[in-house]
Amino acid sequence: MSDSSGKLKLGALVALVVGSMIGGGIFSLPQNMAASAGVGAVLIGWAITAVGMLTLAFVFQTLANRKPDLDGGVYAYAKAGFGDYMGFSSAWGYWISAWLGNVGYFVLLFSTLGYFFPIFGEGNTPAAIIGASVLLWAVHFLVLRGIKEAAFINLVTTVAKVVPLLLFALICLFAFKLDIFTADIWAVGTPELGSVMNQVRNMMLVTVWVFIGIEGASIFSSRAEKRSDVGKATVIGFVTVLLFLVLVNVLSLGIMTQPELAKLQNPSMAAVLEHVVGHWGAVLISVGLIISLLGALLSWVLLCAEIMFAAAKDHTMPEFLRRENANQVPANALWLTNAMVQIFLVITLFSSSTYLSLIYLATSMILVPYLWSAAYAFLLALRSETYEQALAERQKDLVIGGIALLYAVWLLYAGGVKYLLLSALLYAPGAILFAKAKREVGQPVFTNVEKLIFAAVVIGALVAAFGLYDGFLTL
């Protein structure tokens, strides 16, 4: 999939986008969606999400083409548009979000294996944590052998995980019953879901969790064979995943009713297929999920190391994160990342309930880098920067950037104050690494504006710390 110089071709980049977006989320989608919304709200929510996320995909495509000198995607755009500290915070937030997500993947993987081997339970028994730790370091040493090789294995697992999804869609297409689908479109029979607007807001938060990874290709822009492939891979990957998500979600609603789906255990896709074809359906989906999670783990381990490495290359992160091994893999960034995953795996052993909250927290940490990327694309079009000869394109990109920015702000609002405060708690300590990186190049740590921003982050972190201690905030 890659040429002799180790550069990634279009197929490998698309696989990175699809591979990092299709993790475990899609396999739990029927239950997750039914628990928060009825059929009508689900359709409205998907329409809004499709437009919002598509504009974000276009933002990444536009920025990849208009700013070919910026490597490392989300982080580089925040830095170019809003200064070093914002760039650092974007990389830091993205990195934390990515490895926290990996902790969640390990728990989900072993709870799926628990379907076949009860010793793994819900994925947080001692046996599951030992298994997850062994797997973590196996992936670690695989990636140390080379990014190109790991990207090829990711391509294979991406193809393998798409097969059960295709089979699910085909079987459910024939089993779909319109009368079940239209029975209670606005979920009038389930008042606990609240108003349609409320349902849309709740279900849209679930959709963000399943779309994280859309920026996968832009993070690897410096390793792409052709720069133009980065934007193409983002849009192709997005459209493919969107189709799968909508099919899985909508077809399930025509096989079982919304209250039935809401009660299913996850991975709920397994139960839906079992409902249609019997036991082998559940086995097929469980195997698909296991392959899918292994592939997603690999994608995200690659993304974690790459974002720290890209930020260290231009002195936004400390020097030691820039070291590559003989296979051109950012080894120190990889060790730091997987050490954090290991620590948190041990923590899930003692506090079972925090795992899902950590996933929500991870997602709220990624919304900030998304917001800066959309804001940067909007700024470029607003200032006519790089649009000197392309006025028609500028109008179009101004609209797209504006919609993406509104969508990103709306997501922060939908996530709620609680997760913003908790993410401040994770953002604040990052300043230690930022200060170290600045000292290494002999520059003052903060500009005057950045001092104000950092002060706001510290205040947010203190409120969150007190909230956790006092009990008015919980994980």
Q: Which of 19-28, 277-286, 291-300 has the highest mean pLDDT?
A: 277-286
The pTM assigned to this predicted structure is: 0.87
**pLDDT for position 2:** 43
**Per-residue pLDDT at 355 exceeds 60:** no
For residue 167, give the amino acid letter.
L
**pLDDT digits 0-9 by tens, 43-90:** 999 999 999 999 999 999 899 889 988 887 788 999 999 999 999 999
**Per-residue pLDDT at 190 exceeds 90:** no
**Per-residue pLDDT at 209 exceeds 80:** no
Q: Could you tell me the pLDDT band of residue 358, with boundaries at 50, 70 and 90? A: low
**Per-residue pLDDT at 436 exceeds 90:** yes
Region 335-340: what's the mean pLDDT?
96
**pLDDT digits 0-9 by tens, 367-400:** 889 999 999 999 999 999 989 888 889 999 999 9
Region 329-352: what's the mean pLDDT?
90
**pLDDT for position 4:** 44
Lowest mean pLDDT across 16-25, 163-172, 273-282, 333-342: 16-25
> Which residue from 145, 158, 140 is spatially nearest to 216, judged by alpha carbons?
158
**Per-residue pLDDT at 356 exceeds 70:** no
Mean pLDDT, all residues of the chain: 89
Domain 10-419 has CATH 1.20.1740.10: yes
How many residues would you count in the chain?
475
As a whole number of angstroms, the distance between CA 93 and CA 326 comes to 28
β-bridge mates for residue 2, sequence order: 8
Are the C-beta atoms of 297 and 36 separated by less than 8 Å?
no
Q: Give the CA count within 13 Å in the CB-facing half-sphere of 293.
A: 26
| Burial degree of 127 (CB within 10 A; 0-12, 13-18, 19+) | middle
Sign of CA dihedral 123, 306, 72, 293: negative
Are the C-beta atoms of 377 and 397 separated by less than 8 Å?
yes
Are the C-beta atoms of 367 and 415 separated by less than 8 Å?
yes
Q: Where are the chain's structural domains?
A: 10-419
Residues 1-32, buried b or exposed e (16+ Cβ, 10 A)? ebeeeebbbbbbbbbbbbbbbbbbbbbbbbbb
> Which residue from 195, 352, 175, 201 is spatially nearest to 253, judged by alpha carbons?
175
Are the C-beta atoms of 243 and 169 separated by less than 8 Å?
no
Region 112-138: what's the mean pLDDT?
91
**pLDDT digits 0-9 by tens, 2-20:** 444 678 899 989 988 888 8
**pLDDT digits 0-9 by tens, 212-231:** 888 888 888 888 899 889 88
**pLDDT for position 3:** 45
| DSSP secondary structure, 243-292, as one string | HHHHHHHHHHTTTS-HHHHHTPPSSHHHHHHHHHH-HHHHHHHHHHHHHH
Residues 6+ apart with CB under 8 A from 446: 85, 454
**pLDDT for position 366:** 86
